[in-house]
């Protein structure tokens, strides 16, 4: 849950920071100081800040301070205005300097006195010199009734009418119509959605202001064909054309955009009234498809350079094409630029950065050849893919860190109730007026702060897809006037999934996988998704052997993506994320699968299509070929889902790509035994073939054991995975059969594959698999002979007594090779073995 979840009638904005005093201030207003004790700016108030830092040698605490919006390194903008020196304590290597007497809602640049630290060339370019370190910045809190935010203007040049003329010459294809007003508005809406994602993820501290200009002229992509028809001639070359049809990763090249004259191409930097630190160029080139007789948009990834060369007049800049998801590409590529902004504005250390949005866990692997694979800073957390990466990590950035960004402008916006949610400002991506919350009280629903309520969603636009066919969102959104947004009976402040009506649980169930959903009656529906005539429901369950899912899909669907985080730590944090795409061919009504992430080892799947309804049942094993392992319940499994229709439109049941973490509920009662019980073997093993440890003796054709100590009567030299070991035994207690791997030195009742009958003083029968007991059956050894069978087949281990299955359990290690099978004597059971049979 994000934001404050206090049930008490206490305004959390008065604390200024989270539930633990040492925690940094996250997602609050300006009514109390912002605290961030473990980072360089440990406190920000409306009139000052506290700076904590180390120097290369013992020197007095001293900084140079000036007010302004632009760093001294800004291209073509020399520093103006006064500077002053702020002195603190005596000489030391570690400093705490409190700066007071500042104006509210203003940015201040400072340089630290550290004459023993020799500046690098990059640091000198960014303002270091004469004993002073390079510049950093901090903004003070706003006056009462307002909030300080960072306004980051971003140049955006759209080139909507770019045409690959050469592709259409052969067919004399008519030129495509210029992009319509409605289509242009769709693209503007995509940028607005991107700005909303940043706004929410930053706790409404970062206002990304996409300032869009358009070069609507028809332009050519590549050379004008020599045999071009008249309509093709005379078109100017697109400034984005890189000299080839596609230049990875963004497809095009970069120029310098003049916002006042967007049709003019600049290849050299130029001074601007206020230098931009971020720029995007998006061309929409189209090529003729001779098969479909249509003009298709080019697709691309994105390419971004950071803000490193800002002092030379070169902004951080991105380019990408228009044939994909514009909202996502704008967000993803600008975030790369923001990472660079963070590198120069923050300390550029593991705990003081804007996290790189290509996730990877922290690791260091030294290979046999001496090379090293290392990722010192983790970029993987408890999140899903794409949108969820950015939303997760940007929410870890503290309010004080956002106010340390040294680019863009510092502005204050009206926030009368001090909840951190601006009241009414149509310039911003979202305000209380549009959200529907009160601007005169920090909580509208009486429990959650309005800011925390708005941040229940990531604000995304659904799964990644072509912008022009993207459907409207149709899953629950936060309702500021209801305590229970999803209507599930749990208030948002305590609901683990406040925008999902179902409980995030995985109930115990052993369904029959036959592509028919009757076994799933009464199992909660976790997810519903769809639109435009296509829909899907998702249910899941588990037992000791597997995780199960049932999906019912209606209408003209083509694909469904299912991602499962079995460790509950995020989809990039471990190698235990299993994922599969279901692919449907409507012509043949056949379903195929495609693995994703770590694949789907051990997947079992059955489907059935009747009319326009397809039912899919699947299972992923607990242990065995799967990396998953759990015991009874309590573990969380993250579930992320997406459905795709025949037009390749994508739908999600909640914020796209965000895993819903669901807890395994413990089972009760006896688990059902599978129907395919192994038959008894028929091939006799002569007792003379058996080897006997001390404690066994052969008398009158019968092996007898006496005494309390364990001893094995065994066959060795085997090389088996599957087997059926059968023995006719008479004993007072403890009829024990076992199978042992090559690495096991001592054969005993506690190792590897063991089945025992009449254990614990002849009271219970169980399997014991690598030390873990399975089953709890009150089967004991009565007078006379009994036939005990231990079987290992088809991923299961069985204990069978007198031809009746007693316990069955999934094999925890189906690939293990066994070299010995044994009857174990001991525990005062006075075991007698009359016959042994074996099938391998």
Taking only the tens place, the pLDDT of each residue in 684-738 is 999 999 999 999 999 999 999 999 999 999 999 999 999 999 999 999 999 999 9
Residue 3 banded pLDDT, cuts 50, 70, 90: very low
Q: Residue 21 pLDDT > 90, yes or no? A: no
Do the Cβ atoms of 767 and 775 come closer than 8 Å? yes
Predicted pLDDT of residue 751? 84
The per-residue pLDDT for range 214-226, each reduced to its tens digit, is 999 999 999 999 9
Window from 1-10, 136-145, 343-352, 370-379 with minimum mean pLDDT: 1-10
Predicted pLDDT of residue 89? 84
Do the Cβ atoms of 269 and 254 come closer than 8 Å? no
Residue keyed to tokens 């935010």: 149
Predicted pLDDT of residue 317? 97
Distance CA 18, CA 602 (A): 44
What mean pLDDT do residues 565-586 have? 95
The domains of the chain, with CATH numbers, are: 150-346+360-394 (no CATH), 505-664 (2.60.40.1190), 687-839 (2.60.120.200)
Q: How far is CA 37 from CA 42, 299, 471, 699, in A?
A: 4, 45, 44, 80
Predicted pLDDT of residue 22? 61
The per-residue pLDDT for range 650-665, each reduced to its tens digit, is 999 999 999 999 999 9
Torsion of CA 702, 707, 708, 709, to 10 degrees: -70
Predicted pLDDT of residue 16? 33
Residue 205 banded pLDDT, cuts 50, 70, 90: very high
Distance CA 51, CA 42 (A): 6
Distance CA 55, CA 814 (A): 59
Predicted pLDDT of residue 79? 80
Strands 219-220, 146-163: pairing is: parallel
3-class DSSP state of 547: strand
Window from 5-9, 230-234, 255-259, 418-422 with minimum mean pLDDT: 5-9
Distance CA 827, CA 672 (A): 31
Give the contacts of 590 (CB within 8 A, at least 6 positions apart).
584
Predicted pLDDT of residue 8? 29
Residue 670 banded pLDDT, cuts 50, 70, 90: confident
Strands 660-664, 505-508: pairing is: parallel
The per-residue pLDDT for range 788-831, each reduced to its tens digit, is 999 999 889 999 999 999 999 989 888 899 999 999 999 999 99
Residue keyed to tokens 């983790």: 378
Give all strands (DSSP E) within 338-460, no chain letters: 363-366, 372-375, 409-414
Q: Residue 9 pLDDT > 90, yes or no? A: no
Give all strands (DSSP E) within 586-699, no chain letters: 590-597, 604-610, 613-621, 636-645, 650-651, 660-664, 691-692, 696-699
The per-residue pLDDT for range 87-116, each reduced to its tens digit, is 998 999 999 999 999 999 999 999 999 999
What mean pLDDT do residues 611-632 have? 93
Q: Is the dihedral of CA 191, 197, 200, 203 positive or negative?
A: negative
The per-residue pLDDT for range 291-328, each reduced to its tens digit, is 999 999 999 999 999 999 999 999 999 999 999 999 99
Strands 302-305, 316-321: pairing is: antiparallel
Per-residue 3-state assignment (H helix, E strand, C coil) for 179-238? CCHHHHHHHHHHHHHHHHHHHHHCCCCEEEEEEEEECCCCEECCCCCCCCCHHHCCCCEC
pTM beyond cutoff 0.95: no
């Amino acid at each position: 849950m994000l934001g404050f979840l206090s049930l008490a009638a206490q305004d959390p904005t008065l604390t200024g920071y989270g539930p633990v005093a040492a925690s940094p201030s996250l997602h609050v207003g300006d009514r109390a100081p912002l605290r961030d004790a473990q980072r360089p700016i440990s406190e920000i108030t409306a009139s000052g800040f506290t700076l904590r830092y180390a120097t290369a040698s013992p020197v007095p605490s001293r900084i140079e301070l000036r007010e302004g919006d632009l760093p001294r390194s800004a291209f073509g903008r020399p520093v103006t205005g006064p500077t002053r020196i702020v002195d603190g304590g005596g000489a030391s290597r570690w400093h705490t300097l409190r700066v007071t007497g500042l104006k509210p809602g203003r940015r201040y640049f400072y340089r630290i006195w550290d004459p023993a630290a020799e500046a690098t060339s990059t640091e000198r370019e960014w303002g270091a010199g004469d004993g002073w370190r390079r510049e950093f910045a901090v903004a003070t809190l706003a006056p009462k009734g307002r909030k300080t935010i960072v306004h980051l203007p971003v140049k955006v040049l759209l080139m909507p009418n770019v045409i690959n003329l050469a592709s259409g010459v052969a067919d004399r294809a008519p030129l495509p119509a210029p992009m319509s007003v409605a289509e242009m508005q769709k693209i503007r809406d995509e940028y607005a959605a991107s700005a909303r994602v940043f706004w929410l993820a930053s706790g409404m501290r970062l206002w990304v202001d996409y300032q869009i200009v358009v070069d609507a002229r028809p332009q050519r992509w590549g050379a004008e064909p020599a045999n071009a028809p008249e309509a093709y001639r005379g078109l100017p070359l697109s400034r984005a054309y890189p000299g080839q049809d596609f230049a990875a990763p963004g497809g095009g090249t970069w120029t310098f955009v003049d916002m006042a004259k967007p049709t003019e191409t600049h290849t050299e930097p130029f001074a601007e009234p206020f230098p931009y630190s971020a720029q995007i160029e998006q061309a929409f080139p189209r090529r003729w498809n001779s098969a479909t007789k249509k003009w298709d948009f080019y697709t691309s990834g994105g390419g971004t350079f950071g803000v490193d060369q800002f002092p030379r007049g070169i902004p951080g800049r991105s380019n990408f094409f228009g044939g994909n998801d514009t909202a996502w590409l704008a967000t993803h590529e600008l975030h790369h630029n923001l990472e660079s902004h963070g590198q120069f504005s923050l300390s550029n250390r593991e705990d003081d950065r804007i996290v790189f949005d290509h996730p990877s866990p922290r690791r260091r692997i030294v290979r046999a050849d001496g090379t090293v694979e290392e990722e010192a800073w983790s970029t993987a957390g408890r999140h899903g893919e794409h949108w969820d990466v950015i939303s997760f990590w940007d929410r870890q950035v503290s309010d004080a860190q956002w106010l340390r960004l040294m680019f863009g402008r510092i502005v204050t916006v009206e926030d009368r109730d001090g909840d951190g949610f601006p009241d009414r400002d149509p310039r911003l991506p979202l305000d209380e007026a549009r959200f529907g919350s009160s601007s005169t009280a920090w909580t509208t629903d009486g429990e959650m702060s309005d800011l925390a309520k708005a941040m229940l969603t990531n604000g995304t636009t659904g799964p990644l897809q072509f912008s022009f066919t993207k459907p409207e969102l149709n899953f629950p959104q936060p309702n500021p006037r209801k305590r229970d947004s999803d209507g599930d009976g749990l208030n948002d402040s305590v609901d683990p999934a406040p925008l999902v009506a179902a409980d995030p649980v995985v109930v115990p169930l052993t369904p029959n996988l036959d592509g028919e959903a009757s076994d799933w009656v009464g199992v909660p529906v976790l997810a519903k998704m769809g639109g435009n005539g296509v829909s899907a429901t998702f249910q899941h369950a588990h037992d000791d052997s597997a995780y199960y899912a049932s999906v019912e899909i209606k209408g003209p669907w083509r694909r469904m993506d299912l991602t499962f985080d079995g460790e509950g730590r995020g989809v990039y944090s471990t190698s235990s994320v299993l994922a599969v795409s279901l692919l449907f061919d409507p012509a043949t009504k056949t379903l195929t699968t495609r693995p994703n992430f770590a694949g789907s080892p051990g997947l079992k799947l059955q489907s059935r299509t009747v009319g326009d309804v397809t039912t899919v049942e699947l299972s992923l094993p607990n242990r065995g070929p799967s990396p998953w392992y759990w015991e009874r319940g309590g573990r969380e499994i993250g579930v992320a889902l997406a459905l795709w229709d025949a037009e390749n439109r994508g739908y999600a049941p909640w914020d796209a790509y965000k895993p819903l973490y669901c807890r395994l509920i413990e089972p009760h009662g006896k688990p059902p035994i599978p129907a395919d019980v192994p038959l008894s073997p028929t091939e006799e093993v002569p007792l003379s073939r058996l080897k006997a440890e001390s404690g066994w003796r052969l008398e009158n054709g019968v092996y007898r054991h006496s005494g309390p100590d364990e001893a094995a009567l065994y066959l060795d030299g085997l090389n088996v995975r599957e087997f059926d070991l059968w023995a006719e035994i008479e004993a007072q207690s403890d009829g024990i059969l076992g199978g042992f791997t090559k690495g096991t030195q001592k054969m005993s009742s506690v190792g590897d594959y063991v089945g025992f009958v009449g254990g614990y003083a002849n009271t219970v029968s169980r399997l014991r698999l690598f030390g873990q007991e399975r089953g709890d059956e009150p089967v004991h050894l009565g007078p006379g002979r009994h036939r005990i069978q231990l079987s290992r087949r088809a991923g299961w281990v069985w204990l069978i007594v007198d031809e009746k299955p007693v316990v069955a359990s999934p094999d925890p290690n189906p690939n293990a090779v066994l070299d010995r099978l044994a009857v174990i004597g001991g525990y005062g059971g006075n075991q007698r073995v009359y016959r042994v049979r074996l099938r391998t």
